[in-house]
Amino acid sequence: MAAVPQSTAATAATSVPDRLMAAVKDAGFATIVTLGLCIPLVTLRTDADEGGRLTLIPRFGLTAVLCLLVFLARLGYLTIWGKEARASRRPPSRGEAIKTVAAPRYTLTSVGLPIALGFAIAYPALMTLANGGLSEARYWIDLGILVLTYVMLGWGLNVVVGLAGLLDLGYVAFYAIGAYSYAILSTTFHLSFWICLPIAGILAATWGVLLGFPVLRLRGDYLAIVTLAFGEIIRLVLINWVPVTNGGAGIASIPRASFFGIPFNDDDNGFAALFGLEFSPMHRIVFLFYLILALATLTSIVTTRLRRLPVGRAWEALREDEIACRSLGINTTTTKLSAFATGALFGGLAGSFFAVRQGFVSPESFNFLESAIILAIVVLGGMGSQIGVVVAAVVMIAGPEMLRNLDFLKTIFGDNFDPNEYRLLIFGLAMVVMMIWRPRGLVSTREPTVFLKERKSISGDLVKEGHG
Amino acid sequence: MKGETLLRVEHLTMRFGGLTAINDLSFEAKAGDITALIGPNGAGKTTVFNCITGFYKPSEGRIALAHGGEQAFAAVEEATARGARTVTVGDGAIHLLERMPDFVVNQHAKVARTFQNIRLFSGMTVLENLLVAQHNVLMRASGYSVFGILGLSPYTSRQKEAIELAKLWLDRIGLTDRADDPAGDLPYGAQRRLEIARAMCTKPVLLCLDEPAAGLNPRESLELNTLLRTIRDQDGTSLLLIEHDMTVVMEISDHVVVLDYGVKISDGAPTEVRNDPKVIAAYLGVEDEEVAAVEAEVEGRA
């Protein structure tokens, strides 16, 4: 991979043997890089023998096989299936780059989202059928809840990062504020979940505005660092403000969600008894699943509608060019603050859901890694894309979970192979491949919010990424 | 209205640290006129624009804009003394632009501008660009998004009106066929025209154009002249423009102000300015012995 820059220079309008020579050279260079990497990582293997002494086992054969594989793969890429190799076989096209694609009336989002919604509604039933029972499907429904939580967070952050183009590395702070709002309000004031939910959302949005004020003038790296610090400050406050938050020990025994006032228990006035069902703890889990599905759907509907309203267009215009926005009479201060507040609102709602689902919150759950995962979902999905975020959330959250179940790999790599150990390695590799293959995310095109005659997707090359 | 003073710049001074970019500049622009601001590179033309449109806060001086006729200028001293940004006078109002933040200059004082290096929203369609320009009208119609999100009626009809206005401008700049293409995909000349149309969608009383003819071929330049004349004559919008292309300046402007090193060196009708020895000296340079004479003269004026 290190030799990519050379290859582009070598292919421009040269004869076939020249191109082949250049490809061989390039592949040779890649092989040398591989060899350099392999000597410390693969060739020299240390093992403890029976006496506990370290012994060095050289693995020249394996190194040679790896180098050969890299050489052939690189050569193949450059000459047969690579983009440039294919382009050189095709007759030259028109000189002008065409950046718009005449999209059909049904766009990826307009078809993909209803399908995803339909699948999500049927998901608990499907999993029950597939696993032969509701209780047996618990793992899968729990996983579904987790994925949907991140879909909702991704859509919320998408407003700030994808539409307004403001890089927010501290989004988890709003998730934490939502979670703690519900935890504190319900344990001290005994308010129900349905009252706490909007309060938590509003509190988070207020903090979104408060964060927004100091960062209004900041751009790029500076904005990212301040939002990162904001996330950490909230976490540290949660740890140290012991009288209110109970510090690092967290808040336990948070009231569980009820079915609009009817508790999920085996009492006579519980959910199962009232609806004439046999009591099962799974009722609550399924209810939680549909609750987060409803919240996520609400997020999607609201953000999609906002995007078509003047405020949404102003967010996107802000991402494209802030100075032009101001010359057109758009108050960029309120526009930025509204983006921060809207994003934070949905983060707060998701946080409330997190608290009611877990029944326990502690600062541990709201570290920087969470912010990074949510941001990765937005970036991987394609900034500003609704369906992209769904796919990215499934890949990012369910993907690593699925790798736990790759037992069939044992038949290839032997019984000692534990796929679980390689989970993060494979995951990281997948991310690198993604960024090479689709550097602007899964869905890189932008859908216009309004059109006169024909809806055309806009190439990601033209869409700006904001001030960072 | 026509022929009355619209914009009055008085004793405008802009310093950046030790550098004085504009020094005690005063000029007037009349309603229904195309006023050109010209001068060699680095003369401070764009700085004047940035002061008028609120992007810079002038170090000293006053920039007053009258709405509804020049009798509004009667209130200018009162406004200055009161520290007000806007004072209404009968039907009109006086706006002190140097006290306004940039977006208020457009929103309330109705001054729109374009940029020397085109600033379109390149990833948005041509139509979207024209709708963003109508943000404030649409934002009110959507009840600051509250009614808009519920899909209530006033917004839908207002959006239709906004699209109609956008279509009108698309027609005038000849870009109707490309309404759904991204702005960044348009050829250069079309981008220039679109930026003017976008500024006009904010319904300004004064349109400031920063080098609108830069990079245009002769045919496009002619089309631009026609467009600017129709804006002046049909839309009732006065124009203030910075331009290097002297054929454009001489052909369309009604009044020319010449700057050099931040100081006004000439002011008048295009023909007068063209024959002014100080202008010729500033543009073409002069013999060494003449420099002293010209400098003395400039100094004397300032």
Indicate whether A350 pLDDT > 90: yes
Indicate whether A159 pLDDT > 50: yes
pLDDT for B79 equals 80
Indicate whether A102 pLDDT > 70: no
Chain B residues in contact with A309 (beta carbon < 8 A): 138, 142, 145, 148-149, 155
Indicate whether B294 pLDDT > 80: no
Distance from CA of B299 to the nearest CA of A (A): 35
Q: Can you tell me the distance from the alpha carbon of B298 to that of B186, in angstroms, rounded to the nearest whole number?
A: 44
Instruction: Say how many C-beta atoms besides its own lie within 10 A of residue A88's C-beta.
Output: 16
Q: What is the DSSP letter of A251?
A: B
Give me the helices (H) in chain B, please.
Answer: 45-52, 76-82, 102-107, 126-132, 135-141, 146-150, 153-172, 188-200, 218-234, 246-252, 270-274, 277-284, 288-301
Of A100, A311, A451, the CB nearest to B127: A451
Q: Among the listed ranges A153-162, A176-185, A440-449, B92-101, which one has the minimum average pLDDT value?
A: A440-449
Q: Can you tell me the distance from the alpha carbon of A380 to that of A433, in angstroms, rounded to the nearest whole number?
A: 11
* A235 closest CA partner among A365, A326, A338, A392: A365
* A113 closest CA partner among A370, A447, A465: A447
- Two structure tokens written together for B216: 């245009």
Contact between A311 and A293 under an 8 Å Cβ cutoff? The reply is: no
- B121-144 per-residue burial string, b: 16 or more CB within 10 A, e: under 16: bbbbbbbbbbbbbbbbbbbebbee
Is residue B150 one of the residues assigned to a domain? yes
Of B123, B142, B180, the CB nearest to A309: B142
The CATH topology of domain A103-403+438-458 is ABC transporter involved in vitamin B12 uptake, BtuC (1.10.3470)
Of A316, A332, A450, the CB nearest to B127: A450
Chain A residues in contact with B176 (beta carbon < 8 A): 452
Is residue B15 one of the residues assigned to a domain? no
Element at A30 (helix H, strand E):
helix A16-38
Residue B301, burial from CB neighbour count under 10 angstroms (0-12, 13-18, 19+):
exposed
Best probe of the B interface among A105, A163, A322, A452, by most B CBs < 10 A, is: A452
Q: Is the dihedral of CA B268, B274, B275, B278 positive or negative?
A: positive
Written as one string, the DSSP assignment of A415-450 is TT--GGGGHHHHHHHHHHHHHHH-TT-S---B--S-
- CATH number of the domain residue B194 falls in: 3.40.50.300
Q: Tell me what the pLDDT averaged over chain A comes to.
A: 82
Instruction: Say how many C-beta atoms besides its own lie within 10 A of residue B179's C-beta.
Output: 22
Q: Can you tell me the distance from the alpha carbon of A413 to that of A391, in angstroms, rounded to the nearest whole number?
A: 30
Of A99, A329, A446, the CB nearest to B107: A329
Give me the helices (H) in A132-171, please.
Answer: 138-158
Contact between A143 and A211 under an 8 Å Cβ cutoff? The reply is: no
Element at A102 (helix H, strand E):
strand A100-102
Residues 322-361 of A with CB under 8 A from B: 323-332, 338
Contact: B128, A449; criterion CB under 8 Å: yes
Element at A388 (helix H, strand E):
helix A386-393
Angle between helices A16-38 and A60-76 (to 10 degrees): 150
Indicate whether B300 pLDDT > 70: no
Considering only the C-alpha atoms of chain A, give the largest distance between any 2 of them, rounded to a whole number of Å: 84
- Two structure tokens written together for B37: 């601001």
Contact between B112 and B202 under an 8 Å Cβ cutoff? The reply is: yes
Residues 206-265 of B with CB under 8 A from A: none
Contact: A99, B125; criterion CB under 8 Å: no
Chain B residues in contact with A163 (beta carbon < 8 A): none
pLDDT for A265 equals 75
- Residues whose CB falls within 8 Å of the CB of residue B198, separated by 6 or more in sequence, listed in order: A328, B120, B129, B130, B132, B133
Tens of pLDDT along A200-249?
Answer: 999 999 999 988 888 878 877 888 899 999 999 999 999 999 888 888 88
Chain A residues in contact with B123 (beta carbon < 8 A): 316, 320, 446, 458, 462-464
Amino acid sitting at position A262? I
**B164 interface with A at CB cutoff 8 Å:** no
Q: In this structure, what is the dihedral angle of CA atoms B135, B141, B144, B149, given to the nearest 10 degrees?
A: -110
Q: What's the whole-number mean pLDDT along residues B145-169?
A: 81
Chain length of chain A? 468
If phi > 0 it is left, if psi is from -120 to 50 it is alpha, else beta; for residue B144 that is left
Chain B residues in contact with A328 (beta carbon < 8 A): 103, 106, 112, 132-133, 135, 198-199, 202
Give me the helices (H) in A39-165, please.
Answer: 60-76, 83-89, 108-131, 138-158
Helices (H) and strands (E) in chain A, counts: 20, 4
Contact between A213 and A337 under an 8 Å Cβ cutoff? The reply is: yes
Q: What is the DSSP letter of A368?
A: H
Contact: B149, A321; criterion CB under 8 Å: no
Chain-centre distance of CA B51, in angstroms?
Answer: 11
Contact: B185, A462; criterion CB under 8 Å: yes
**B168 interface with A at CB cutoff 8 Å:** no
Greater model confidence, A83 or B55:
B55
Contact: A313, B131; criterion CB under 8 Å: yes
Tens of pLDDT along A283-314?
Answer: 888 889 999 999 999 999 999 889 888 999 99
Whether this model's ipTM surpasses 0.90 comes out as no
* B221 closest CA partner among B255, B174, B189: B189
- Beta strand B111-113 pairing with B92-96: unpaired
Q: Can you tell me the distance from the alpha carbon of B135 to that of B39, in angstroms, rounded to the nearest whole number?
A: 35
Chain B residues in contact with A103 (beta carbon < 8 A): none
Chain A residues in contact with B159 (beta carbon < 8 A): 450
Q: What's the whole-number mean pLDDT along residues B269-274?
A: 86
Q: What is the DSSP letter of B41?
A: T
Tens of pLDDT along A400-416?
Answer: 777 777 666 667 766 67
Is residue B161 one of the residues assigned to a domain? yes
Q: Can you tell me the distance from the alpha carbon of B100 to that of B78, in angstroms, rounded to the nearest whole number?
A: 17
**A168 interface with B at CB cutoff 8 Å:** no
* A374 closest CA partner among A260, A231, A255, A257: A231
Q: How many domains in chain B?
A: 1
Q: What's the whole-number mean pLDDT along residues B67-90?
A: 81
pLDDT for B261 equals 87
Q: What is the number of CB-based contacts under 8 A between chain A and chain B?
A: 144
Q: Tell me what the pLDDT averaged over chain B comes to.
A: 85
Instruction: Say how many C-beta atoms besides its own lie within 10 A of residue B60's C-beta.
Output: 14
B7, β-bridge pairs: B29, B65
Residues 34-73 of B with CB under 8 A from A: 53, 55
Element at A233 (helix H, strand E):
helix A220-240
- Two structure tokens written together for B150: 């519920």
Written as one string, the DSSP assignment of A291-317 is HHHHHHHHHHHHHHHHHHSHHHHHHHH
**B148 interface with A at CB cutoff 8 Å:** yes
Q: What's the whole-number mean pLDDT along residues A377-385?
A: 84
- A164-187 per-residue burial string, b: 16 or more CB within 10 A, e: under 16: bbbbbbbbbbbbbbbbbbbbbbbe
Q: Can you tell me the distance from the alpha carbon of A255 to that of A352, in angstroms, rounded to the nearest whole number?
A: 12
Indicate whether A94 pLDDT > 50: no
Collect contacts of A220-229 with beta carbons under 8 A, ≥24 apart: A220/A167, A220/A467, A220/A468, A221/A468, A223/A166, A223/A167, A223/A168, A223/A467, A223/A468, A224/A167, A224/A168, A224/A169, A224/A468, A225/A169, A227/A167, A227/A168, A227/A169, A227/A170, A227/A171, A228/A169, A228/A170, A228/A368, A228/A371, A229/A170
**A6 interface with B at CB cutoff 8 Å:** no
Indicate whether A7 pLDDT > 50: no
Q: Name the phi and psi angles at A279, rounded to 5.
A: -60, 135
Greater model confidence, A164 or A266:
A164
Residues 80-119 of B with CB under 8 A from A: 102-104, 106-107, 112-113, 115, 119
Contact: B149, A316; criterion CB under 8 Å: no
Of B120, B124, B184, the CB nearest to A316: B124
Q: Among the listed ranges A27-41, A77-91, A125-139, B129-143, which one has the minimum average pLDDT value?
A: A77-91
Residue of B nearest to A330 (CA): B103
pLDDT for A423 equals 67
Tens of pLDDT along A33-86?
Answer: 888 888 877 788 777 777 778 888 888 888 888 888 888 888 888 877 766 666
Of B102, B119, B123, the CB nearest to A446: B123
- Two structure tokens written together for A196: 């706490």
Residue of B nearest to A100 (CA): B181
Indicate whether B66 pLDDT > 60: yes
Rg, C-alpha atoms of chain A: 26
**B186 interface with A at CB cutoff 8 Å:** no
Q: Is the dihedral of CA A217, A220, A222, A227 positive or negative?
A: positive
- Two structure tokens written together for B237: 């919008």
Q: Can you tell me the distance from the alpha carbon of B1 to that of A176, in angstroms, rounded to the nearest whole number?
A: 60
Is residue B52 one of the residues assigned to a domain? no
Contact between A386 and A212 under an 8 Å Cβ cutoff? The reply is: no
Q: Can you tell me the distance from the alpha carbon of B261 to that of B45, in angstroms, rounded to the nearest whole number?
A: 10
Amino acid sitting at position A315? W
Of A306, A317, A338, the CB nearest to B149: A306
Indicate whether A103 pLDDT > 50: no
Residue-number span of the structural domain to which B121 is assigned? 114-202
Q: Can you tell me the distance from the alpha carbon of A90 to that of A335, in angstroms, rounded to the nearest whole number?
A: 47
Contact between A38 and A30 under an 8 Å Cβ cutoff? The reply is: no
**B184 interface with A at CB cutoff 8 Å:** yes
**A465 interface with B at CB cutoff 8 Å:** no
Contact: B124, A320; criterion CB under 8 Å: yes
Of the CA atoms within 13 Å of residue A319, those in its CB half-sphere come to: 28
Structural domain boundaries in chain A: 4-89, 103-403+438-458
